[in-house]
Structure formats: C-alpha cells, structure tokens
C-alpha cells in the first residue's frame, strides 16, 4: 500500500480565487443578493466594481470553475484502486467447494503515475482558471475605457455641435444683413449639420460600448460610470523586469508546464500498461479436508504491447513541450507590445494635454474674438475649431489608449503593477 501513495494537489478552487485576488486586488467571492449590487456605491459604477461584478457573473469564468471541479473529480478517480474480486463455487456431488480471491496488483502499482498525471492536470486547470480571471479583468477594463472614451467624445462633440449651431445662426444673420454672401452661409450651415451627424454617430458608439460592458459585467442597465479609480503609472517598469515577472507569474505559462508534467506522467503510465499483474488465492474444502493455494497471474504482452498508447502519449509530450515554448515567445511579444504601446500613448497624451491643446485653445479664442468684432471672416474660426476639436478628441483617445495599454500590460505580466494616484477623467 505504501507504493500507492501519491501527491495531492494544492491548487483547488479556493487557491485559484485567492491567487486571482492577490494578483488583481479584487474580490471574487462577494455574495449576490436580490437587491441591486450598486446601491452601496451610490448609483455609480467604477472600474473596480465593474471587474468584481464580472468575476461574480461571468459564464466563462463559471465554466472554468466547473472544469476545475471536473479535474478534481478526475484526481479522485485516479486515486481509486480496483476492488478485489471474490468468487465462490459450492459443492456438487463429489466436487469440493472452492473460493477464489483475485487482487488486481496492476491498479495498485499504476496508482502513483495515474494520480500524478491527474494531479498535474488539476493544477493546470487551477492555473487556467486564474488566467481566465485575468483575461476577464483585462476585457472589462478595456471595455470600461472604451465606454469612458465614447462618453468623453459625446461630451466634446455635443459642445462642438452647440457652438457650430451658434456660429451658423450668427452667419445667417450676417447673410440677411448683407455682410456675408449666401454661399458662405451655406458652408457654415453644412458644417453645423456635420457636427450634429458626428454627435449622433458618437451616441450610437457609446450605446454599443455600454452594451458590451453590460454583457461582461452581467448588469443591465449600467449606472453612470466614473473614472476616479483608474490607476496607471507615469512610467512603465523596465522591460527586463517585466519579462522576468511574466515568465514566473503568468498562470498560463505555469499551466503549460504542469500540462507538460502531466503528459510525461501519462506517458510513463502508458508504458506500465504493457503489464497486467494479479494476485490470486484459492481455497477449497470438503467435509473432511481444507486446502489453499496462493499464486498470481501475469498477462503476456505477445500480441498487444500498447505501442499505440505509448506513441500517442509521447506525441502528447512533444505537443505539450512545443506549447510551452510557443507560449514563452507569445509572452515576450505581449509584454514588449503592451509596454511600447503604453509608453507611446503616455508620451503622446502628455504632449497633447501640455502643449497642443492649450495652444489651439488660444488660437481659437483669438479667431473667435476677431470674428465677433467683424475684423475677420468665419473661415479662421472654423479652421481653429476643427483643429481644437480634433486635438480634444485625440486627447480622449490617448487617455483611453493609456488605460487599455496598462490593462494589457498587467494581463501580459500576470501581476498587479505598482501605479500612481488615480487620474480624474471628466465624464
């Protein structure tokens, strides 16, 4: 029985949830009630609450939990030993009664390798559950950033549409008084209609973004979104540091290694299956005598040597090895890409907020003043307005790019990175 002892996996559902909470700083076990889960946050939803709700409501995350439960059941099945078989024959005529006890030793001998393979598969499923949670957190944060971007774009385009209407009304007045030609008034009115159309498109995009976020979070309709808890660093950690963290911390990398170990254990198990050994004890008795025989039986691998099973198991080992190597390359690419995107978006955002937008605001104010006093035509105003609008919209896009890249970077490393204080974002 000592040879039947095997490793018991430590990665279970509770471990997976604790590991995910440690990596993200989020709660995955909050109780849901019949009342709205948003009452406690005053009718507003921030990114943290959205991700926690998603972890509680996501069908994909729940499906991985069920897969982990199935893997845990597989470990229990692998640890089981086949029951001994007892057959009894009663006496008839001159034939004595007999009893035979057959103990399948093969099941006991194969138990360590069988249990090791199942245990590694369970640990891999637990790591995969953590990775699914990290992917879900990333998806929610990206969708949240998209919603904030659409929200900000709608605000900017609404202001632009209002200003374009005022400018069109003023131009119409000047056309009536003869200060401007009718063609000029038509051009200004067309620009006002284009601003209204752009606002309409943005409202549709915002609705689509909210629908996607509602699907991820599992709450409909969503309350107003706030961005007071979005934390990003002003500068990303060094690339070597991020790669070191990712190679050690990424759950899918660890899961691939565990799957490789499980494949190796299954290959060893398949080699064992060439033998089938049983212990046998026979007991016979008559009215005046009792006898016993003890022995065993061995299956002779003459025709079936399990070559197909061994070959398949070895191929699975090779496949698992290539998956490990491919995933390592993918991790490097994801970390390098997300870090580069974050740095570029951060630099561009700083450039727009600190230099470009303030300069265009001064240009627009000067052009508007000259137009209102009659010193200049509407063309410089429209040109300044378009440039300012493009710059403000670009700034909003860059802010969203920063948040998306930071979410991708944390997912790529598999760990929660240190960030600065949250940045207030207008709604």
Q: pLDDT tens digit string along 28-45?
A: 765 444 444 443 445 778
CATH class of 47-413: mainly alpha
- Cβ-contact 137, 411 below 8 angstroms: yes
Rounded to whole angstroms, how far apart are CA atoms 112 and 114? 5
pLDDT of residue 2: 46
pLDDT of residue 192: 84
pLDDT of residue 409: 92
pLDDT of residue 426: 38
Inter-CA distances, 97 with 138, 279, 284, 291, Å: 71, 21, 6, 10
Three-state secondary-structure class, residue 231: coil
pLDDT of residue 380: 82
Q: Is the peptide bond before 221 cis (omega within 30 degrees of 0)?
A: yes
pLDDT of residue 39: 35
pLDDT of residue 231: 59
Rounded to whole angstroms, how far apart are CA atoms 157 and 190? 16
- Tally Cβ neighbours within 10 Å of residue 39: 9
pLDDT of residue 372: 77
pLDDT of residue 181: 66
pLDDT of residue 233: 67
> What residues in the chain have per-residue pLDDT under 50?
1-7, 31-41, 421-427
């Amino acid at each position: 029985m000592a040879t039947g002892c095997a490793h018991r996996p430590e990665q279970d559902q509770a471990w997976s949830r604790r590991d995910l909470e440690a990596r993200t700083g989020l709660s995955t076990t909050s109780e849901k009630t019949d009342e709205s889960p948003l009452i406690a946050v005053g009718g507003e939803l921030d990114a943290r609450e959205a991700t926690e709700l998603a972890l509680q409501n996501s069908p994909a995350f729940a499906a991985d939990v069920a897969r982990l439960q199935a893997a845990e059941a597989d470990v229990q099945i692998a640890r089981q030993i086949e029951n001994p078989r007892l057959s009894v024959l009663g006496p008839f005529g001159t034939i004595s009664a007999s009893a035979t006890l057959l103990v399948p030793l093969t099941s006991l001998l194969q138990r360590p390798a069988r249990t090791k393979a199942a245990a590694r598969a369970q640990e891999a499923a637990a790591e995969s559950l953590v990775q699914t949670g990290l992917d879900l957190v990333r998806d929610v944060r990206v969708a949240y950033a998209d919603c904030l971007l659409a929200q900000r774009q709608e605000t900017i385009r609404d202001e632009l549409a209002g200003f374009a209407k005022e400018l069109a009304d003023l131009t119409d007045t000047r056309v009536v008084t003869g200060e401007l030609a009718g063609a000029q008034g038509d051009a200004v009115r067309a620009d006002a209609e284009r601003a209204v159309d752009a606002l309409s498109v943005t409202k549709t995009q915002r609705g689509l973004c909210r629908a996607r976020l509602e699907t991820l979070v599992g709450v409909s309709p969503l309350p107003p979104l706030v961005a007071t808890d979005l934390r990003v660093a002003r500068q990303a950690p060094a690339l070597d540091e991020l790669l070191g963290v990712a190679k050690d911390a990424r759950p899918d990398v660890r899961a691939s290694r565990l799957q490789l170990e499980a494949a190796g254990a299954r290959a060893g198990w398949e080699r064992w299956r060439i033998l089938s050994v049983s212990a046998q004890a026979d007991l016979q008795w008559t009215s005046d005598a009792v006898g016993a025989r003890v022995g065993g039986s061995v299956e002779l691998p003459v025709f079936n040597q399990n070559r197909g099973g061994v070959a398949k198991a070895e191929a699975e080992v090779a496949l698992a090895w290539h998956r490990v190597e491919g995933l390592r390359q993918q991790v490097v690419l994801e970390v390098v890409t997300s870090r580069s995107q974050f740095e570029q978006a951060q630099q561009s955002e700083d450039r727009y907020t600190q230099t470009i937008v303030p300069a265009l605001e001064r240009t627009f104010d000067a052009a508007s003043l000259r137009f209102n006093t009659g010193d200049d035509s509407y063309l410089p105003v429209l040109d300044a307005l378009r440039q300012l609008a493009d710059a403000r919209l670009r700034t909003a896009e860059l802010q969203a790019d920063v948040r998306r890249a930071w979410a991708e970077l944390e997912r790529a490393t598999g760990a929660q990175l240190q960030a600065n204080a949250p940045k207030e974002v207008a709604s």
